[in-house]
Structure 1
Amino acid sequence: MNALDDRFLTRNGLAARQLAVLLLGVPPDTRLPRVRDLAQELGCGNGTVQAALRLLEESGGIETSARGHLGTFLVASDRAVLWRLSGLGTLLAAMPLPYSRRYEGLATGLRAAFDRAGTPFAITFMRGSDARAAALVEGKVDLVVLSRFAADRIAAEHAVEIVADLGPGTYVGAHGLLLREGVSLDKPGLRVAIDHTSQDQRLLTERAFAHRADTVWVESSYMQLRDVFARDQADATVWNLDDVQDRIGMGVEVHPLDGEVTRGLSPRNSSAAVICRADSAGKALTAFRDALAPDTVVSTQAEVVRGDRMPSY
């Protein structure tokens, strides 16, 4: 550890770490808050703030310019240096299992965006939006990727915030009704596979068969659908059509969903959203908003979906 690093363990250095977090989200040519205002926010003295700013400048994290009565302006900043000095570590994002090319493209796009911003970033894969949301609320991950529909519901129930909506077609292409060949939708006691860990699948499936009183519900994760149909344990379900034939296999017909089933959901259930804890003190929230270039993520995802780019995450 060099002398400069040692200084970041002092009182002035700890204030510099806090300032680094605050400055991660400040664009160039922005007037900085007054020293006394920063001191009040950080709970320290004016001299400590001034020393902290000098530390950040000496480290190459920022460049400032005093402009007389106009105040002090941030001329430039190095996001990678500020992130390292802040001590925030690696952001961990929870995503759906990468079973489709669309999800692989989304993971690749997010990785590219954070790498470009110089922000350490890692991905963990978890099945079910409820499981991912619980991991976020419990502080096990910093960011969660899910559909905008699921994000709206979770944000209404927990102290989380939606920090990005990547637009229609970024989460799924479409949902459809899967029906075993030779089975009629009018079959009495139709066995319908449902995954209660997925808000999107559960709601769409319940809507699709809401008119029936004789439905036999078969609990099944989307990762088990192939086996469920192959073993004659279910007759129908509703699910994401991305790569569906590869996952389910032959012997299953795909039908479009009735407009009443998807009413009020499109395009929310096809749009990828990212949420973080509202009390994250600027960590995931600021980092994600600043690091993410939505157009880059979406265009990278499209390249992967088309096969023009190899997934890398």
Structure 2
Amino acid sequence: MNRFDERFLTRNGLAARQLAVLLLHQEADARLPRVRDFAEKLGCGNGTVQAALQLLEEAGAIETTARGHLGTFLVRSDRAALWRLSGLGTLLAAMPLPYSRRYEGLATGLRGAFEAAGAPFAITFMRGAGARTAALLEGKVDLVVLSRFAADRLLEDHAAGSVELVADFGPATYVGAHGVLLREGASLSAPGLRVAVDPSSDDQRILTERAFAGRDDVRWVESSYMQLRDLLAQDRADATVWNLDEVAGLIGPGVEVLPLGDEVTRDLALRNSSAALIGRAGGATALDAVRDRLDLSLVTSRQAEVVRGERLPSY
């Protein structure tokens, strides 16, 4: 650490770091709040604020100009420098394993949107909505990608406001479609139908239970999606419900794909197909600092380009 950087560890430097967060919200050529307003917000003296502003100017993070009685204006700001000096760090999002082009596109779009907003951004991949949700609630990640169905349940469970919906990207952004996979030679009406269910995926489990609701003769076979091929091919399960992006490799001569049945199940599948971005509410300073600059349409447009093969995945 050089001598100048060490100055950001002093009292004035701490104020400069806090001020950097506030200035991330300021547009170029905007009139800045008065020094005493900054001082009140930061809980320090006017002199400390003035010294903090000078530190940020010397670091090249901002340039200001005084316009007499009109006040002080922000001529320009370097968002990357402000972010670095603020100490906000890198925003970390958790999303499903990128096994499909749709997920690769979603990761590409998220990275593009946050970087365009000037925020350092990284993605970690976790299988299972429960694991991603736990990481969010434990403060290990800042954001998680879930199906809209799983997101709604999370929001209901935490109605006090510890989490919030940041974005709903709409149908077919999480998965394309769901269907019933039926083993060759099996019949959905046969008694004792063996239905595979993945206990680590609430989305899949609830959707499958809904699809076979009203039948007390179903025999549930617990498995992961990685076992589906073997379960069906080796006659250890007769049917399951799964997203068709994920099981594209299973669809062959020995597996029949059937549409989901009742209206409730189709509505549930639609909410399962929409990607939702969830963050922690309150105290999420880094997210607040970038929220008003996020162009969320960039997420879906880049995802669509990756799905169509017009853009290489980059995440």
TM over 0.5, shorter chain:
yes
Q: 1:9–1:253: structure 2 CA closer, same or farther, 3 Å change rule?
A: same
Q: 1:115–1:281: structure 2 CA closer, same or farther, 3 Å change rule?
A: closer
Structure 2 residue ranges without an equivalent (≥5): none
Give the Cα–Cα distance (whole angstroms) in 1 for the partners of residues 22 and 12 of structure 2.
15
Give the secondary structure class of the aligned counterpart of 1:269.
helix
The equivalent residue for 1:24 is 24
Deviation at 1:129, TM superposition (A): 0.8
Q: 1:33–1:218: structure 2 CA closer, same or farther, 3 Å change rule?
A: farther
Question: Does structure 2 conserve the Cα–Cα contact (< 8 Å) formed by 1:226 and 1:249?
Answer: no
Provide TM-score, normalisation by structure 1.
0.90
1:233-272 paired onto structure 2 within 5 Å: 233-242=236-245, 244-247=247-250, 249-262=252-265, 264-265=267-268, 267-272=270-275
Give the Cα–Cα distance (whole angstroms) in 2 for the partners of residues 119 and 195 of structure 1.
36
Give the Cα–Cα distance (whole angstroms) in 2 for the partners of residues 90 and 148 of structure 1.
25
Give the Cα–Cα distance (whole angstroms) in 2 for the partners of residues 167 and 87 of structure 1.
33
Give the Cα–Cα distance (whole angstroms) in 2 for the partners of residues 277 and 136 of structure 1.
7
The equivalent residue for 2:60 is 60
1:217 to 220, 236, 258: 220
Structure 1 residue ranges without an equivalent (≥5): none
Deviation at 1:8, TM superposition (A): 1.0
Q: 1:176–1:33: structure 2 CA closer, same or farther, 3 Å change rule?
A: farther
Give the Cα–Cα distance (whole angstroms) in 1 for the partners of residues 266 and 36 of structure 2.
53
2:190 pairs with 1:187: yes
Deviation at 1:133, TM superposition (A): 0.5
Provide TM-score, normalisation by structure 2.
0.89
2:278 to 272, 275, 279: 275
Give the Cα–Cα distance (whole angstroms) in 1 for the partners of residues 145 and 220 of structure 2.
28
When structure 1 is superposed on structure 2, of 149-158 and 25-34 the one drifting more is 25-34
Give the Cα–Cα distance (whole angstroms) in 1 for the partners of residues 228 and 26 of structure 2.
47
Q: 1:223–1:28: structure 2 CA closer, same or farther, 3 Å change rule?
A: farther
1:231 to 221, 231, 234: 234
Deviation at 1:72, TM superposition (A): 3.9
2:116 pairs with 1:116: yes
Deviation at 1:42, TM superposition (A): 2.1
Give the Cα–Cα distance (whole angstroms) in 1 for the partners of residues 241 and 58 of structure 2.
58
Question: Does structure 2 conserve the Cα–Cα contact (< 8 Å) formed by 1:276 and 1:285?
Answer: no
The equivalent residue for 1:301 is 303
Deviation at 1:233, TM superposition (A): 2.3
Q: 1:280–1:202: structure 2 CA closer, same or farther, 3 Å change rule?
A: farther
Q: 1:245–1:264: structure 2 CA closer, same or farther, 3 Å change rule?
A: closer
Deviation at 1:245, TM superposition (A): 2.6
Q: 1:186–1:60: structure 2 CA closer, same or farther, 3 Å change rule?
A: same
The equivalent residue for 1:98 is 98
C-alpha offsets along residues 252-276 of structure 1, whole Å, 9 cap, x if unaligned? 1111112423354464322211111
Which letter maps to 2:124?
T
Q: Percent identity?
A: 74
Give the Cα–Cα distance (whole angstroms) in 2 for the partners of residues 58 and 202 of structure 1.
57
Q: 1:224–1:280: structure 2 CA closer, same or farther, 3 Å change rule?
A: farther
Deviation at 1:57, TM superposition (A): 2.5
Question: Does structure 2 conserve the Cα–Cα contact (< 8 Å) formed by 1:110 and 1:292?
Answer: no
C-alpha offsets along residues 100-119 of structure 1, whole Å, 9 cap, x if unaligned? 11001111122223333443
Question: Does structure 2 conserve the Cα–Cα contact (< 8 Å) formed by 1:229 and 1:235?
Answer: yes
Which letter maps to 1:222?
Y
C-alpha offsets along residues 26-82 of structure 1, whole Å, 9 cap, x if unaligned? 334444444333323322222212222222222222233445555444443222111
Question: Does structure 1 conserve the Cα–Cα contact (< 8 Å) formed by 2:180 and 2:259?
Answer: yes
Q: 1:201–1:73: structure 2 CA closer, same or farther, 3 Å change rule?
A: farther
Give the Cα–Cα distance (whole angstroms) in 1 for the partners of residues 37 and 299 of structure 2.
36
When structure 1 is superposed on structure 2, of 5-14 and 106-115 the one drifting more is 106-115
Q: 1:217–1:30: structure 2 CA closer, same or farther, 3 Å change rule?
A: farther
Which letter maps to 1:103?
Y
Which letter maps to 2:130?
D
Q: 1:310–1:19: structure 2 CA closer, same or farther, 3 Å change rule?
A: same
Give the Cα–Cα distance (whole angstroms) in 2 for the partners of residues 265 and 178 of structure 1.
17
1:75-154 paired onto structure 2 within 5 Å: 75-154=75-154
When structure 1 is superposed on structure 2, of 6-15 and 22-31 the one drifting more is 22-31
Q: 1:281–1:300: structure 2 CA closer, same or farther, 3 Å change rule?
A: closer
Q: Calculate the aligned-residue CA RMSD, in Å.
A: 2.3
Q: 1:232–1:73: structure 2 CA closer, same or farther, 3 Å change rule?
A: farther
